[in-house]
Structure 1
Amino acid sequence: MKRVSIIGKYCNGFFLLFGVVLSMLGLTLLLYFPSIYDFIIHSALDLRPETEAYKAWSTNDPPLILDMYFFNWTNADQVYDPTVKPHFEQVGPYRFLEIKEKCNITFHENDTVSFQFVKRYHFMEDESPKPLTDVINTINPIATSAAYKSRFFHPLKKLMLSFGMSSTSKVYVTKTIDELLFTGYEDPLLDMVRSLSILLPEGANVSDKFGWFYQRNNTYGLSGDFSMYTGHDENFGKLLSWDYRNRTDFYEGTCGEIRGSAGEFHPINRERDFIEIYSSEMCSYAHLQYEKDVTVKGIKAYKYSSDTLFDNGTKVPENACFCNGECIPSGVLNISSCRMDAPIFISLPHFYNADPYYIESIEGLNPNKEEHDFYITLEPKSAIVVDIGARMQLNVLLQPIKGFSLFEKVPKIYVPVFFFDQVVTVTDDLAVKMQLLQNLPDIRETAAYILIIIGVVFMMSTLCCWVNSTKSQKLNRNEYKIPPQSIADEIPLKLKTETT
């Protein structure tokens, strides 16, 4: 009996301790879970060579699909007729696999990493809706750029260049999509400019061919050198510098700052306000405003879109410094300063969200939000991108330029050349993991209360058992105990009886 009692006390002590542990664990989940949750997220986003986050960040595997659309200038031969509006017809898409890897990755002691990009494009011949052999009319980028860059030249230089243009070039060219993109094409004006060094600025080089991406496929470093914060704080994912500087000379004031992320990572715990992304192609940052809450594959997320992107200060006063000295109607960004002074302007496809001025001066464009908006959707706690619609259009300014007979009577329009469309949504496997991560707070709360309740039940049951056991032991002792006085009284009675 004594051994059983000891075992019972031991078990009761164990159950009491077990109940206390469960209750404390539940309270810990309630009180300290935010810190634990942040630790879990930081661990999942830890950028070290041996982590999954690093592997996903350093290379986009599997490759992403990139669709490109061009605009065919259907009445380019009537460019000098002021009664005829230039008409453009969208053609495409031309589908590519885009491989965007990091190279020259170096980690530094101040919680930053520096890197460059390697970009590869593979045409998906069997899956592309349109072939690269398509022939279109488009603006002549060589002649247009040469005239634009030379508009302030000495009259004698302008006369020489104008004569060369008139004898070799038109305002438009007729080329295949392949020539316009990667293969490139030869042009007599390039040969002439190369042979007359007097027409070239000091140190300038002229390529043997022109193509929008000529000699840019499978190359690295052309996008510049990036330095990004990797520390687990509010700066995680933000760029520290681009090309070893924290601002550029392409825009004045705050518009020249290196701001925002490189696109893959953003600081955690997002708010319903805005995000910023720095683009080396734009030579500036893109500011995306919160639009609404959405659900992507079961993941609750915040969608940030381009309502004020490329604003000229009309909606956002601080954007006025993007005008580059000459403000144009809102919705188009002048990037000529970072494109060797070529008349290059970017916008959203079909001039979506831009001033009506742009589509009213031409025909054939039909902007709409579903097909032409630029947006990024983030899971708010981890700031992981769950859906993105990356879309951008390149335009060339065509305008009358004095001293160049080829351009003296042309209309002033922003000629749409091409735009890219890349829509990427989180994979199913990652979506399941993110749903679990997102549901952890609710799971934590339920689990915490269950642990507390079970712990309290264990403690109360143990205490009740102890109380009942103590009472039972007292009763048992009272039942079997014979007082000494009673025994003394019974002995004489017994002897007396026996004697009788």
Structure 2
Amino acid sequence: MNFSLQELKPKHIRVAGVLFLFGSLFGFFGFPRILHGQIASQLTLKQGSEMRAIWSKIPDPFSFRIYVFNVTNPMDVQRGGRPILTEAGPYFYEEFKEKINVTDHRNNDTVSFNPRDTWYFSMRKSEGLTGNEMLTIPHPALLATALTTERERPAALKILNKAIPAIFGNPASMFLTTSARNILFDGIPIYCNVTDFSSKAVCSEIKKRKDKFQQLDENIYGFSFFGMRNGTAGERFQVKRGIENIKELGQVVQFKGEKKLTIWSGDKCNNFMGTDSTIFPPFLTPNDTIAAFTPEICRSIAAYYTGSITYKGIKAYKYSADFGDASRDPDLTCFCTTPDTCFKKGLHDLTNCVGAPIVASLPHFYLADREYQTGVVGLNPTKEKHEILSIFEPMTSTPLLAHRRLQLSIALHKVDAIDLMQEVPTVIFPILWIDEGFELSEKLLSKVHVIYTAILTMNVLKWIMMALGVSLSAGSLWFRKKQTDVQSSDFPGITRKVQDVTSLEDQSRY
């Protein structure tokens, strides 16, 4: 507006008022509403949309780092000693995530799919490791078979004890020394090409679960932690598309055709909470939780707001998660296998989930009860390396950075009927841990920057318009007051002239 203060008129006051009202009403109400509508329309899983394409096949790989705990004193542990561990890793894999067999269900605004994860080893990013390093770990297949048999069919333990030499390669202890590659993906052999009665009886049970193993040769199966999942379709999900209600975006409504799990002892543990972890509803506030259902551990986990940060120039929220304390929290006790076998803080029993006494926790038992941290030698839990961390842009709920960290251990104790387990200690024995990381690419980050810049620009403009409106109004009022004051200062002279005229008129009458 190109005028001086002396030129301010009532119409300028009206203009100032319009500026103030427009800045406040549009800045605080109109723009956010328009922006929310635009964001919501862009984020739905509508067929043919850009978001649907990214969600169906995430364009950039995740970083998948695996660390294996190498046992340095296996024979001491075999005789009841305390395990001493060293950490080998990272074994770095690029993990590509996609969804296959995608089907829309318009009647309830959902879409169903099978997730498929594919891993490729990167020697360059593995810090000199090749995957051929020989490592010693508790024999996962042997111990899982023994401990599961003890729990489900204790009368069959003697048969298993006789079969162990033939099936597991005549082991001298409960430990296995093999390459990292075999442990992680290629497979540890289980020999079911046997003829003796005991071995055939055990192998008949193994064959009933052959979908859990790799086929290495005829009647030779392989056990690995990730080999069976590599490049294969996972169990089927059904999630909300968010078209009818954006706050339901990605919410899991079915898994394996069921509306809830049946493996835990209570609805709170069996109900699906959150998304499948690849998309989240927008418009986060610090009071919101970020929840996701993870099939590998048969449960949902909620992450909680821990603070605000600026990440690469974008205001963002930090979230963190842990396993809680099922032994004390009444909402988590339904995860316990039995009321008498509930682990203390920081552990999640996967026995009902995977059919073996495997235990999930944060790496190095971070945030877990000290009993587990001191049960073995060689752990060093730290927040920076071992917490579950996510950083989100709150308007779009875009994950800018994430680290999903998980440790797998085995709940070890002696079994008198098994020769190799008669003296072993009772301990939660760490085997390996993973760090599944994600950082938004610069290409996708630039799209978030566009939205963030629009928000910042509008925030600045609304205050400028409101400040200008207030300034113009104040200036107009001040100038009008000055004019009034000037006119008032002339009133005495005018009054005297009027009185003089009146006096003359009166005199002329006489």
CA distance in 2, matches of 1:212, 1:43: 40
CA distance in 2, matches of 1:202, 1:172: 23
1:386 maps to 2:400:
yes
Contact kept in structure 1, 2:119 and 2:231, CA below 8 Å: yes
Write out per-residue CA displacement over residues 245-304 of structure 1, whole angstroms, 9 at most, x where no aligned residue. Answer: 221122122011111111122222222232211101111011222211122111111111
CA distance in 1, matches of 2:158, 2:152: 10
1:225 maps to 2:237:
yes
Alignment partner of 1:32 out of 14, 21, 30? 30
Q: 1:79-478 maps to which residues of 2 (within 5 A)?
A: 79-82=77-80, 84-109=81-106, 110-129=108-127, 130-152=129-151, 157-165=156-164, 168-169=170-171, 170-188=173-191, 195-196=200-201, 200=205, 203-205=208-210, 207=213, 208-220=221-233, 222-231=234-243, 232-253=245-266, 254-273=268-287, 274-306=289-321, 308-314=322-328, 316-325=329-338, 326-339=341-354, 341-448=355-462
Contact kept in structure 1, 2:350 and 2:359, CA below 8 Å: yes
Query: Identity percentage over the alignment?
Result: 26
Post-superposition offset of 1:419? 1.1
Question: Match of 1:97, as an amino acid?
Answer: E
From the superposition, tell whether residues 439 and 405 of structure 1 become closer, same or farther in structure 2 (CA, over 3 Å). Answer: same
Instruction: Please give the root-mean-square deviation of Cα atoms over the aligned residues, in Å.
Output: 3.2
Post-superposition offset of 1:371? 0.4
CA distance in 2, matches of 1:258, 1:155: 34
Post-superposition offset of 1:180? 1.0
From the superposition, tell whether residues 90 and 202 of structure 1 become closer, same or farther in structure 2 (CA, over 3 Å). Answer: closer
Question: Match of 1:345, as an amino acid?
Answer: V
CA distance in 2, matches of 1:327, 1:399: 15
Post-superposition offset of 1:413? 1.2
- Show the counterpart of 1:43: 41
Taking structure 1 as the reference length, the TM-score comes to: 0.80
From the superposition, tell whether residues 19 and 32 of structure 1 become closer, same or farther in structure 2 (CA, over 3 Å). Answer: same
Contact kept in structure 1, 2:45 and 2:241, CA below 8 Å: no
Write out per-residue CA displacement over residues 371-394 of structure 1, whole angstroms, 9 at most, x where no aligned residue. Answer: 011111111222111111111111
Write out per-residue CA displacement over residues 24-47 of structure 1, whole angstroms, 9 at most, x where no aligned residue. Answer: 975545432222121121133132
Taking structure 2 as the reference length, the TM-score comes to: 0.78
Contact kept in structure 1, 2:163 and 2:202, CA below 8 Å: no
Post-superposition offset of 1:313? 4.5
The runs of 5 or more residues in structure 2 that have no matched partner are 1-14, 214-220, 473-510
Contact kept in structure 1, 2:78 and 2:174, CA below 8 Å: no
CA distance in 2, matches of 1:190, 1:60: 42
Larger Rg: 1
CA distance in 2, matches of 1:391, 1:95: 14
Question: Match of 2:104, as an amino acid?
Answer: F
Contact kept in structure 2, 1:71 and 1:417, CA below 8 Å: yes
CA distance in 2, matches of 1:141, 1:154: 19
Question: Match of 2:180, as an amino acid?
Answer: I
Post-superposition offset of 1:106? 1.3
From the superposition, tell whether residues 217 and 31 of structure 1 become closer, same or farther in structure 2 (CA, over 3 Å). Answer: closer
CA distance in 2, matches of 1:194, 1:439: 67
Post-superposition offset of 1:55? 2.0
Write out per-residue CA displacement over residues 299-357 of structure 1, whole angstroms, 9 at most, x where no aligned residue. Answer: 11111112x4242143x431122112121121111111121x21111111111111111
Post-superposition offset of 1:21? 10
Question: Match of 1:234, as an amino acid?
Answer: K
- Stretch moving more, 140-149 or 57-66: 57-66
Contact kept in structure 1, 2:164 and 2:199, CA below 8 Å: no
Contact kept in structure 1, 2:239 and 2:275, CA below 8 Å: no
- Show the counterpart of 1:479: none
Contact kept in structure 1, 2:160 and 2:199, CA below 8 Å: no
From the superposition, tell whether residues 444 and 198 of structure 1 become closer, same or farther in structure 2 (CA, over 3 Å). Answer: closer
From the superposition, tell whether residues 451 and 152 of structure 1 become closer, same or farther in structure 2 (CA, over 3 Å). Answer: closer
